[in-house]
């Protein structure tokens, strides 16, 4: 198998605090890789470094063999690396239709177009329609995003990332805070991700992690602790001690 | 998941339909052009409204769409005004329309250079930086009296006829038509810009720059672009003033001008392009009317209006006019055809 996303000795310090230290992670093509760990372990900090939101203090990040450590966030998206956010980061005043229309227009290279009306390109609209259908957003497509039910916002959060047509997708707690009756849509959307897309999932929900992932890395105090297949990680006594034991009563 | 099938034609219609001309918009511009024949005695104040509206439209592009707060937009206004006045005075470019374009390009260049100062930071730092740029420019104009006339203003400007045909007459008739046509043309351009993917990306940046960059938008490049365009608009507004008055003064750079501009936009509302124009009409007519009634105290009334607007909230005021807008919607056959009954009652 080929490695698509790799970090080498990735380290991030905030002052004297080491948020992530010496993280070397390899994610294989087409993998369903989960990154788990207790609160404050540095999971989101890793995602932020992978996507260019935070510059690492030291270490390197490689996407399909190319060093992207110094690239801006938007340039990484162009190379096929997209993400969702743990806390919704959406365009409150725009509708799902506008949001997806914008994201697809950007990817297909119409982002600089200042003359034609958004949506006047049929290839853009074909994808937008497909996304609205797949994520069940058709009935709310013209509502301002700020007024959507939380579960719909969560679906849009994933749909926007998919609109970037990533080769590697980073999902930061996709089901976080979603009420029980709306969870099913989210889980179905995550399960239905195209198999050629490599996924790195951060999640607290162990049911989701173990039903989804074919590989799991455990992060504790900013360092990689254990990595392996789900059954290996589940059996590992150290993991049980530091992590699963603590989560079991939740 | 239960999937509802959507027709691409209908979805396209809904997205593209946002850019269609609303009957009220058509009515608005018909009324605006009708003033040429209906109120010939008001052309001088209408001229002031036209360039102020264009100036406010410029601020709306950066504030209402991209979310950049500026308290120094007069920098570009003054720069464009002096450029146009100097071009005419030294007979470098004698035709006003070409001079106007050059003044706009000059202000754009200044906007491009200073845009890098507003990329980073919070609203407060942006306010301070834009304010600072306007102060600096005013002082440069003040110090270089040999060129600008310093505190006396740039005198002795004679304007040649527009397109070699239409003189700037003393009643301001031709000047008004000129300003109104320029406002309309630049409005049409702004309307295209804000409805394009580029314009939508500006709104997304205002909403959430973090997510905008996460869908591949180069946030800084977009902000530089719109700041440059808006500076050009402001420069053209200033040039219109300089050309119609055949004069330029340091007051064009004043802080008060930038602050009034923000007020105009607050009165009219941001983010829908008409706010600047409506705000300019209200502001100028209030100024005109109240200054006759109470010459000293007219700021009192403007202040009161501002407080009422903010306290009552514009949503409620636009809510009062909703029945009229619904009535106008019925006149719009394009909306009725593709949308059908599903959007009735929204």
| pLDDT tens figures, B93-104 | 999 999 999 999
B195/A contact by beta carbon, under 8 A: yes
- Report the C-alpha gap between A23 and A14 in whole angstroms: 16
The two three-digit tokens of residue A196, written as one number: 């050629």
B14/A contact by beta carbon, under 8 A: yes
Q: Is B326 a domain residue? A: yes
Q: Is B4 a domain residue? A: no
Q: Which of A116, A139, A185 sits opposite B4 (nearest CB)?
A: A139
**C-beta separation of B108 from B229 below 8 A:** yes
- Report the C-alpha gap between B10 and B248 in whole angstroms: 53
A191/B contact by beta carbon, under 8 A: no
* Cβ-defined contact of B215 to A77 (cutoff 8 Å): yes
- Report the C-alpha gap between A71 and B216 in whole angstroms: 12
Q: Mark B79-117 as b/e (b = at least 16 C-beta within 10 Å).
A: bbbbbbbbbbbeeebeebeebbbbbbebbbebbbebbeb
pTM of the model as a whole: 0.91
Q: Is B294 a domain residue? A: yes
Q: Mark B162-190 as b/e (b = at least 16 C-beta within 10 Å).
A: beeeeebeeebbbbbbbbbebbeebbeeb
Give the chain B residue nearest A89 (alpha carbons).
B211
Residue in the structure block whose two tokens are 């849009």: A156
The two three-digit tokens of residue A42, written as one number: 């540095």
Region of A144 (left: φ > 0; alpha: ψ -120 to 50; beta: rest) is: beta
String of DSSP letters for B275-289 = HHHHHHHHHHHHHHH
Torsion of CA B36, B31, B299, B268, to 10 degrees: -140
Domain CATH number, residue B119:
1.10.3470
| B157: Cα separation from own chain's centroid | 26
SS3 B141: helix
Q: Which of A91, A125, A164 sits opposite B208 (nearest CB)?
A: A91
Residue B331 has pLDDT above 80, yes or no: no
What confidence tens digit (pLDDT) does each residue in A69-89 have? 999 999 999 999 999 999 999
- Report the C-alpha gap between A83 and A105 in whole angstroms: 18
The pLDDT of B127-146, averaged and rounded, is 96
Q: Identify from B16, B216, B224, B346 which residue to disrupt to test chain A contact, counting A C-beta atoms within 10 A and taking the largest count.
A: B216
What is the ipTM score, two decimals? 0.92
- Report the C-alpha gap between B216 and B267 in whole angstroms: 35
String of DSSP letters for A111-172 = TT--SSPTT-SHHHHHHHHHHHHHTT-GGGTTS-GGGS-HHHHHHHHHHHHHHT--SEEEEE
Q: Which residues pair with A18 in a beta bridge?
A: A13
In the sheet that holds A223-228, the strands lie side by side as A81-83, A168-172, A198-202, A32-36, A215-220, A223-228
Number of A to B CB contacts under 8 A, please give it: 150
Q: How many domains does chain B have?
A: 1
Q: Is B38 a domain residue? A: yes
Q: Is B12 a domain residue? A: no
Q: Identify from B2, B7, B195, B200 which residue to disrupt to test chain A contact, counting A C-beta atoms within 10 A and taking the largest count.
A: B200
Report strand pairing: A215-220 vs A223-228. antiparallel
- Report the C-alpha gap between B62 and B272 in whole angstroms: 12
- Report the C-alpha gap between B163 and B185 in whole angstroms: 16
Sign, CA dihedral B58-A144-B211-B123, equals positive
Taking Cα atoms as reference points, which of B85, B125, B126 lies closest to residue B102? B85
Sign, CA dihedral B246-B92-B114-B236, equals positive
Q: Which of B4, B193, B208 sits opposite A138 (nearest CB)?
A: B4
**C-beta separation of A140 from A174 below 8 A:** no
A245: distance to nearest CA of chain B, Å? 34
SS3 B284: helix
- Report the C-alpha gap between A103 and A110 in whole angstroms: 10
Q: Is B1 a domain residue? A: no
Out of B24-33, B191-200, B241-250, B315-324, pick the least confident: B315-324
Provide, as residue numbers in chain B, all residues whose Cβ is less than 8 Å from the Cβ of A111.
Answer: 197-198, 201, 216-217
Q: Mind listing the pLDDT tens digit of every residue in chain A (250 residues)?
A: 689 999 999 999 998 888 998 899 999 999 999 999 888 889 999 999 999 999 999 999 999 999 999 999 999 999 999 999 999 999 999 999 999 999 999 999 999 999 999 999 999 999 999 999 999 999 999 999 999 999 999 999 999 999 999 999 999 999 888 888 888 888 888 888 989 999 999 988 888 899 899 999 999 888 998 899 999 988 888 887 876 555 444 3
The two three-digit tokens of residue A214, written as one number: 């074919």
The two three-digit tokens of residue A188, written as one number: 């179905």
* Cβ-defined contact of A93 to B207 (cutoff 8 Å): yes
Q: Which residues contact B321 (CB under 8 A, 6 or more apart)?
A: none
Region of B115 (left: φ > 0; alpha: ψ -120 to 50; beta: rest) is: alpha
Out of A178-192, B15-29, B93-107, B202-216, pick the least confident: A178-192
| pLDDT tier for residue B128 given thresholds of 50, 70 and 90 | very high
| A13: Cα separation from own chain's centroid | 22
Interface of A with B in 7-46 (CB under 8 A): none
Residue in the structure block whose two tokens are 């505190």: B151
**C-beta separation of A54 from A23 below 8 A:** no
- Report the C-alpha gap between B233 and B59 in whole angstroms: 9
Q: Which residues pair with A60 in a beta bridge?
A: A8
Chain-wide mean pLDDT for chain B? 90
Report strand pairing: A66-67 vs A3-14. unpaired
Report strand pairing: A3-14 vs A58-63. antiparallel
Q: Is B14 a domain residue? A: no
- Report the C-alpha gap between A157 and A178 in whole angstroms: 12
- Report the C-alpha gap between B279 and B270 in whole angstroms: 10
Q: Which domain holds residue B212?
A: 21-339
B214/A contact by beta carbon, under 8 A: yes
Q: Which residues pair with B154 in a beta bridge?
A: B248
B255 burial type by CB count under 10 A (0-12 exposed, 13-18 middle, 19+ buried): middle
Residue B206 has pLDDT above 90, yes or no: yes
- Report the C-alpha gap between B299 and B301 in whole angstroms: 5
Domains of chain A: 3-241 (3.40.50.300)
Out of A192-201, B102-111, B266-275, B303-312, pick the least confident: B303-312
B224/A contact by beta carbon, under 8 A: no
Using a CB cutoff of 8 Å and minimum separation of 24, what contacts does B19-26 make?
A: B19/A117, B19/A118, B19/B191, B19/B195, B20/B332, B20/B334, B20/B335, B22/B328, B22/B329, B22/B332, B23/B328, B23/B329, B23/B331, B23/B332, B24/B325, B24/B328, B25/B274
- Report the C-alpha gap between B245 and A67 in whole angstroms: 59
A106/B contact by beta carbon, under 8 A: yes
Q: Is B13 a domain residue? A: no
What percent of chain B shows pLDDT beyond 70? Answer: 89
């Amino acid at each position: 198998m080929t490695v698509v996303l790799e970090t080498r000795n990735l380290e991030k310090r905030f002052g004297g605090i080491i948020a992530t230290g010496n993280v070397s992670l390899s994610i294989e093509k087409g993998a369903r890789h989960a990154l788990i760990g207790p609160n404050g372990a540095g999971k989101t900090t890793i995602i932020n470094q992978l996507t260019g939101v935070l510059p690492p203090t030291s270490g390197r990040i490689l996407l399909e063999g190319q060093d992207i450590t110094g690239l801006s966030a938007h340039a990484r998206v162009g190379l096929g690396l997209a993400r969702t956010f743990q806390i919704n980061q959406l365009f409150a005043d725009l509708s799902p239709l506008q949001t997806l229309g914008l994201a697809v227009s950007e990817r297909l290279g119409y982002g600089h177009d200042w003359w034609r009306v958004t949506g006047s390109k049929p290839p853009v609209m074909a994808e937008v329609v497909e996304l609205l259908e797949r994520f069940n957003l058709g009935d709310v497509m013209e509502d301002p995003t700020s007024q959507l039910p939380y579960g719909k916002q969560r679906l849009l959060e994933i749909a926007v990332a998919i609109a970037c047509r990533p080769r590697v997708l980073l999902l930061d707690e996709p089901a976080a805070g979603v009420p029980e009756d709306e969870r099913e849509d989210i889980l179905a959307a995550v399960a239905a991700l195209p198999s050629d897309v490599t996924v790195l999932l951060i999640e607290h929900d162990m049911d989701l992690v173990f039903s989804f992932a074919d590989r799991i890395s455990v992060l504790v105090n900013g360092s990689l602790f254990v990595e392996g297949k789900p059954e290996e990680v589940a059996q590992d006594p150290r993991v049980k001690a530091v992590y699963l034991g603590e989560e079991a009563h939740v | 998941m239960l999937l509802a099938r959507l027709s691409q034609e209908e979805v396209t219609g809904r997205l593209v339909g946002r850019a269609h001309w609303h009957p009220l918009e058509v009515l608005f511009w018909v009324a605006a052009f009708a003033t040429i024949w209906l109120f010939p005695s008001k052309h001088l104040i209408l001229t002031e409204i036209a360039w102020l509206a264009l100036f406010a439209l410029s601020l709306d592009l950066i504030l209402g769409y991209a979310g950049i707060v500026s308290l120094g937009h007069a920098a570009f206004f003054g720069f464009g005004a002096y450029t146009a006045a100097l071009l005419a005075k030294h007979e470098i470019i004698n035709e006003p329309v070409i001079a106007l374009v050059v003044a706009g390009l000059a202000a754009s260049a200044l906007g491009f250079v200073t845009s890098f100062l507003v990329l980073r930071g919070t609203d407060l730092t942006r306010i301070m930086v834009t304010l600072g740029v306007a102060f600096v420019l005013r002082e440069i104009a003040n110090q270089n009296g040999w060129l600008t006339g310093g505190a006396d203003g740039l005198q002795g400007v004679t304007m040649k006829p527009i397109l070699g045909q239409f003189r700037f007459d003393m009643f301001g008739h031709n000047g008004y038509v000129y300003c109104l046509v320029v406002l309309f043309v630049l409005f049409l351009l702004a309307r295209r810009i804000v409805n394009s993917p580029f314009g939508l990306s500006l709104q997304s940046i205002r909403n959430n720059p973090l997510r905008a960059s996460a869908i591949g938008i180069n946030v800084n490049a977009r902000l530089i672009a719109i700041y440059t365009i808006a500076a050009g608009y402001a420069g053209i507004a200033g040039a219109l003033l300089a050309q119609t008055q055949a004069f330029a003064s340091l007051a064009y750079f004043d802080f008060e001008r930038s602050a009034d501009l923000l007020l105009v936009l607050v009165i009219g509302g941001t983010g829908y392009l008409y706010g600047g124009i409506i705000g300019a009409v209200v502001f100028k007519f209030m100024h005109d009317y109240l200054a006759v009634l109470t010459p000293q105290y007219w700021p009192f009334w403007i202040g009161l209006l501002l407080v009422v607007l903010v306290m009552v909230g514009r949503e409620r005021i636009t809510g009062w006019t909703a029945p009229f807008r619904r009535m106008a919607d019925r006149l719009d056959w394009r909306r009725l055809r593709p949308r059908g009954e599903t959007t009735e009652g929204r």
